[in-house]
């Protein structure tokens, strides 16, 4: 069965790269609670250069950073140092300065008011605080275009000082919430987020190629981000996140490898245990993966900035919730992923899932913009489906 999984997934990676339009290269892995059950790499790190994708290729992992930073917040909850339901300004006064955007006046100026209630760290982790991204929200895009609101990719303090779109806790809106949660972690820990993650998560998990800044050795293994053109072709981009950022952006700032991220996925599959020590208590893991939205559901992400993202949604038409670190699919997915499984993605077409029920998870890494690229996402869906098909075949054998 292992050979069948290897063959089927290898074929999916190869097909995703060579079909038109394809991708420059992809690294994908699947794991059970103990070890990888599939590892594959195919294609190029950069289309106009000879270096091949390999299992240790370094990627800008964008929003797959979020769950790692959320894990650090959960560790502080375990230690009694962070109350998720206390006002976040208790730990970080700056967040108390954010006001609610009620629209724009006749001259185009933002109309702001005080929020009805304070933002809590729970709201930040659940994406219900009222914060957004300019590439997924029209009002934030207007603030950027007409009022010079800095992009989150600047990794600067001003980029976080955005208004709330609604009173905290009223609905789900995907945005810079986890960046603020990372600042809460820093304020409590008294260290930069990168140091916190290194000590508390990367070391016990054995994640040796994950950081907010590229070491020379990591840079030598770095994959290039490519831009999908209107005719389907791909052009390499000279794009890089800030290497000495003012803010360690908990929402998108990490570089990593697929093997490193598999160690993180295995920790969640194995009730918080890492290869070199415990990261979370089992009871914390069980608490963290429960739906935190109640009757609210997450929504499709509209591609407001076309070069950065297409319209994006996992399993359209299926209800989806959010727990403290992850999206939850509320019904069985067509790939074989069961109801209650976890997952999310990163802007440059990186995707992962974590199925604690069956003890399996996987990660698919490419470096392409815009997000929700049909070739990349289609390859990922085929990959996930192949893993579940293998589980069904193994059970029937």
Per-residue pLDDT of 140-197, as tens digits, reads: 999 999 999 999 999 999 999 999 999 999 999 999 999 999 999 999 999 999 999 9
**Residue 34's pLDDT band (cuts 50, 70, 90):** very high
Residue 24 confidence (pLDDT): 97
Whether residues 178 and 320 share a domain: the answer is no
Same domain, 248 and 167: no
Cβ atoms within 10 A of the Cβ of 392, count?
10
- Mean pLDDT computed over 47-62: 98
What are the pLDDT digits (tens) for 7-22? 999 999 999 999 999 9
- pLDDT range class, residue 394, cuts 50, 70, 90: confident
Task: Say whether both 264 and 376 belong to one domain.
Answer: yes
Same domain, 58 and 90: no
| 46 and 83 inside one domain | no
Catalytic residue among 38, 44, 63, 376: 63
Residues 169, 263 within the same domain:
no
pLDDT tens by residue, 306-352 = 999 999 999 999 999 999 999 999 999 999 999 999 999 999 999 99
CATH number at residue 259: 3.40.710.10
Q: Which pLDDT score is estimated for 219?
A: 97
Annotated catalytic residue 174: yes
Number of H helices, E strands in the chain: 12, 16
393 pLDDT tier (thresholds 50, 70, 90)? confident
pLDDT at 1 over 60: no
Are 90 and 129 contained in the same domain? Answer: yes
Q: CA triplet 180, 184, 187: central angle to 5 degrees?
A: 135
**Last residue within a domain, chosen from 133, 152, 186:** 186
Q: For residues 323 and 223, state if they share a domain.
A: yes
Q: For position 3, what pLDDT does the model report?
A: 86
Name the strands in the sheet holding 360-365, side by side, starting at the edge strand that comes first in the sequence.
36-43, 25-31, 360-365, 350-355, 342-346, 327-329, 320-322
Is 63 noted as a catalytic residue in this protein?
Answer: yes
DSSP codes of every residue in 92-116: -GGGGG--EEEEE-TTSPEEEE--S
Same domain, 46 and 97: no
> Looking at the domain assignment, is residue 286 inside a domain?
yes
51 and 84 housed in the same domain: no
> Given 66, 176, 261, 380, which residue is catalytic?
66
The C-alpha angle with vertex 308 and arms to 305 and 309, in degrees rounded to 5, equals 80
164 DSSP 8-state letter: B
In this prediction, residue 106 carries a pLDDT of 97
Residue 356 pLDDT level (bands cut at 50, 70, 90): very high
Is pTM, for the whole model, over 0.95?
A: yes
Q: What is the pLDDT of residue 2?
A: 77
Query: Is the residue at 44 inside a domain?
Result: yes
Domain range for 158 is 77-186
Residues 372 and 231 occupy one common structural domain: yes
Q: Is residue 199, in this structure, part of any structural domain at all?
A: no
**What's the chain's average pLDDT?**
97
Domain total for the chain? 2
Is residue 388 part of the annotated active site? The answer reads no
pLDDT of 397 higher than 80: no
> 330 and 371 share a domain?
yes
Looking at the domain assignment, is residue 198 inside a domain? no
> Are 211 and 218 in contact, with CB atoms under 8 Å apart?
yes
pLDDT digits (tens, 9 = 90+) for 199-235: 999 999 999 999 999 999 999 999 999 999 999 999 9
Q: How far apart are CA 59 and CA 66, in angstroms?
A: 15
Q: State pLDDT tens for residues 91-142.
A: 999 999 999 999 999 999 999 999 999 999 999 999 999 999 999 999 999 9
Which one of 174, 261, 380, 388 is the catalytic residue?
A: 174
């Amino acid at each position: 069965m292992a050979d069948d999984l290897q063959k089927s997934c290898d074929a999916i990676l190869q097909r995703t790269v060579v079909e038109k339009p394809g991708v420059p290269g992809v690294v994908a892995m699947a794991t059970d609670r103990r070890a990888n059950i599939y590892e594959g790499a195919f294609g190029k790190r950069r289309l106009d250069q000879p270096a091949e994708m390999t299992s240790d290729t370094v990627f800008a992992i964008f929003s797959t950073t979020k769950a790692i930073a959320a894990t650090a917040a959960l560790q502080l909850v375990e230690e009694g140092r962070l109350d998720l339901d206390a006002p976040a300004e208790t730990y970080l006064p700056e967040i108390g300065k954010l006001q609610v955007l009620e629209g724009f006046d006749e001259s185009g100026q933002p109309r702001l008011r005080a929020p009805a209630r304070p933002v809590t760290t729970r709201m930040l982790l659940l994406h219900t605080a009222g914060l957004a991204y300019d590439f997924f929200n029209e009002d934030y895009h207007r603030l950027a275009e007409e009022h010079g609101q800095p992009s989150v990719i600047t990794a600067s303090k001003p980029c976080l000082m955005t208004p709330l779109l609604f009173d905290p806790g009223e609905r789900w809106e995907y945005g810079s919430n986890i960046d603020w949660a990372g600042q809460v972690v820093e304020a409590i820990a008294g260290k930069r987020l990168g140091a916190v993650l290194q000590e508390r998560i990367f070391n016990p998990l054995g994640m040796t190629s994950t950081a907010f800044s590229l070491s020379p050795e990591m840079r030598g293994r770095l994959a290039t981000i490519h831009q999908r053109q209107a005719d389907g072709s791909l052009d390499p981009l000279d794009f890089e996140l800030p290497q000495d950022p003012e803010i360690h952006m908990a929402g998108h700032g990490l570089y990593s490898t697929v093997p490193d991220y598999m160690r993180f996925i295995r920790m969640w599959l194995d009730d918080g245990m890492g290869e070199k020590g415990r990261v979370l208590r089992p009871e914390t893991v069980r608490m963290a993966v429960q739906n935190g939205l109640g009757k609210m559901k997450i929504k499709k992400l509209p591609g407001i900035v076309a070069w950065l993202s297409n319209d994006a949604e996992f399993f359209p038409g299926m209800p989806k919730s959010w727990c403290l670190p992850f999206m939850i699919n509320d019904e069985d997915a067509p790939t074989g992923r069961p109801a209650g499984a976890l997952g999310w993605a990163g802007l440059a077409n990186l995707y992962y899932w974590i199925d604690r029920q069956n003890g399996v998870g996987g990660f698919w890494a490419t470096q392409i913009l815009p997000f929700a690229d049909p070739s990349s996402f289609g390859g990922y869906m085929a990959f996930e489906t192949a893993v579940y098909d293998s589980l069904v075949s193994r059970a029937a054998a």
